[in-house]
Structure formats: structure tokens, C-alpha cells
Amino acid sequence: MKKLVCLLLALATTLAFAPCLAEKDNFTIGYLAWDLGLSWNIATYSGLKYGADKAGCKIIELDCKQDAAVQVDQAQQLINQEVDIIVMFPTTAGETIIKMCNDAGIPIIAENSFYDESAGETAGQVACQYNDIGYAAVKWAAENIENAKLVYVSGYYGIGVTEIYEDGVNQALADFADKVTLAAQLTDDDWTIEGAYNVMSSYINGGYDFNIVFAQDDVVAKGAYQALKEAGLDIGVISTGGSEDSHIAMENGEMIANMTAPADLQGLIAFGMAWAELNGETWGGDKIALPVIPIDMANFDEWLFWDDLDGGYQWVVANIGPYVPAI
């Protein structure tokens, strides 16, 4: 009996002084980038790194430059290094990497894509929902343009983005049918300024009746605006994203509104999920959609810049909650 008591006391002492996960210093986060040469991924990664720096976490970032096979190899590298958690901005290899992490017992956070349970287990997901952006643009037109007759200028089909935008556009057209109608949907198959200019010019030259344009992104918006200006039409353009270029374009009168989706928030939210997981806590929910914040000249001073990481962090704290545990 005395021996058993001694063993129990020894075990209790060991447990009392063993460092728990939350007390571990120098967590290492493995980051699988999509393409750190492109602004959307740059801003997303900046948000993640901002949180990691505040918490004293190390990041090992690997960039596959949009190559799915390379990203799978990089995921294996991080698994072999036994990082504490992986955050990925996935290519088409996302589901494969989730299963790899599950098999290795390493938690994984997914950015910019939502996965269902069949993909495997994630410690959190945060993603831009393009249908929400399309919906917000049409809603803004319905609420701000009298008897809105909308021309929607999209990018090309085939990679999933335009199709998802279109779902949101169609839903808003149905919900606000008494205030907005679709005059035309034009597709820029090149997804360039010149391509958008060409399809918009052709439509204008046909003499059609419209009073607002929704362009799928800043590139398309620039081309559409150039066509409108050349034709002498004082018709506003709604764009998306909320980048620095968008802000300048709105200042210059080249767009009337922007459905901003600050990319750095995606990284800030991903870190919040990762930090909670590393510390055995929960935060924010299993899936969080990147917020869509409509900005026009009435609230122009509320623009949340992608590189304003302090401002982005404060937005996350105010709208989702402080990181758990607090840092």
C-alpha cells in the first residue's frame, strides 16, 4: 500500500510539473502558400505572420507557386519536421494534404477554401465566399441606384470563381427583384483590362439601356470604366476586393462602390484558429467566412487596408473575439 501511495504521489508530482500544451514556448507553424508572388496570398500570409509574431510562434513558410504536386511534397516536408500545426492556402491538392496531416496527427487549418467532412478533419477553416461578394454587389445596387438596371461583367468560367460569384448575383437578383434587374451579363474570357474594355464597348455600342455596372474584380473594373468614359457615360462601376488599387480608383472616381474583403483578415483569423488549437482551446467557430464590407463614398473613411494589420487585428477582436488565450 505504501508503495502504491508513493507511486501515486510521484505521478501527481509529474503531472503537476509537466508542461501542458498551452505552456509550451516556441510553437512552430508550417505554412503552405499558394503563391506568395500574388497580392491576395501575400496579404493573407501577412495576417498569419502578424499573429504569430505577437504570440512568439515560429513560421516555416513554403511556396508551391500554384503547383499542386509541389505543395504535396512541401506538406510532407513539414510533417517530417514535426511542426506543431500546418496552415495551408491550398491548391487542388487540399484534400490530399488534409488526409496526410490527419494520418500524421498534425492539426491543419485551411484558408481560402471550405471542405466538407469527407475531406478529413481540420482544426478550422476560413475562406472568401465569392457568392457573398456577388450578392453584396447586387444588394448595394438595389439599395442605392433607383430602378437599377445592372450589367454584370465577369471573368472567365472554368476555375470555379465566376461560377460562385454568379450564384450570389442570381440570388440577390431574385431577392431584390423589385429594385434591380439584370440588363446583361458580359464575360471577359481574357480576364484582362483590355478584354473587359472590349466586351463593355461592344455592349455600349449596341445602344442598350443600363445604369450601373458590377465588375467582378479590379482588373475587369478598370476595363469597364475605360469603355464607359470613352463613350461619355456617367454610369458607376461596382468592384470587389478592397485592395490599395481599389481605394485609389474610388478616390479618382473610377468606381462608385467596392465590396471589400480584406485579405489580411483571412490570415488573422487563421492564426486565431491555430493559436486556439495549439493551446487546447476553441475560438471563432469551425468555419468562418471572410467578411464582405461594402464601401462607398458615404463610409469611405472606414476602408480597411490589406496592409493595416493593427486595424485588421482590432476588427477581428471586435467582431470575432480576442485570441484565446489572450496575447
pLDDT tens, position by position, 121-169:
999 999 999 999 999 999 999 999 999 999 999 988 887 788 999 999 9
Residues 193 and 152 in one domain: yes
**Which residues, at least 6 apart from 297, have a Cβ–Cβ distance to it below 8 Å?**
250, 256
Cell 477553416 sits on residue: 125
pLDDT of residue 239: 97
For each successive 10 residues of the chain (327 residues), what is the average pLDDT? 39 36 71 94 97 97 97 98 98 97 98 95 96 97 98 87 93 98 94 95 94 95 96 96 93 96 97 98 96 96 96 97 95
3-state secondary structure of 234: coil
Helix (H, G, I), strand (E, B) or coil at 327: coil
According to DSSP, residue 252 is labeled T
- Structural domain includes residue 301: no
Answer yes or no: do 229 and 280 share one domain. Answer: no
pLDDT at 7: 38
Same domain? 231 vs 135: yes
pLDDT score at 160: 76
Nearest alpha-carbon partner for 62 in 44, 74, 79? 74
Q: Is residue 187 part of a domain?
A: yes
Are residues 253 and 277 both part of a single domain?
no
The pLDDT value recorded for residue 251 is: 95
Asked whether 149 and 209 are in contact (CB, 8 A), the reply is yes
**Do residue 164 and residue 215 come from a single domain?**
yes
User: Does 138 lie in the same domain as 85?
Assistant: no
Q: Are 319 and 284 in contact (CB under 8 A)?
A: no
Report yes or no on 70 lying in a domain. Answer: yes
Query: How many domains are there within the chain?
Result: 2
DSSP 277-325: HHTT---S-SEEEPP-EEEEGGGGGG---TT-HHHHHHHHHHHT---SS
pLDDT on residue 311? 96
- Based on the fold, state whether residues 244 and 267 are members of the same structural domain: no
Residue 297 lies in a domain: no
SS3 187: strand
Model-level pTM? Answer: 0.84
In this structure, are 267 and 122 located in the same domain? Answer: yes
Same domain, 108 and 169: no
The pLDDT of residue 11:
38
Lookup: cell for 28? 512552430
Indicate the angle between helix axes 68-80 and 94-104, nearest 10 degrees: 10
The length of the chain in residues reads 327
Cell numbers representing residue 184 in the block: 446583361
Residue 324 located in a structural domain = no
Residue 6 lies in a domain: no
Report the percent of the chain where pLDDT is more than 90.
85
Same domain, 255 and 134: yes
Tell me, yes or no, whether 5 lies in a domain: no
Q: Is residue 43 part of a domain?
A: yes
CATH number at residue 96: 3.40.50.2300
**pLDDT for res 25:** 60
- Helix, coil or strand: residue 215: strand
Cell numbers for 308, please give them.
Answer: 493595416
- Give the separation between CA 5 and CA 142, rounded to whole angstroms: 75
Q: Look up the domain containing 46 and give its range.
A: 26-128+263-291+308-319
Please give the pLDDT value at position 155: 87
pLDDT at residue 18, as a whole number: 33
Q: Same domain, yes or no, for 181 and 106?
A: no
| CB of 151 closer than 8 Å to CB of 212 | yes
Do 134 and 242 fall into the same domain?
A: yes
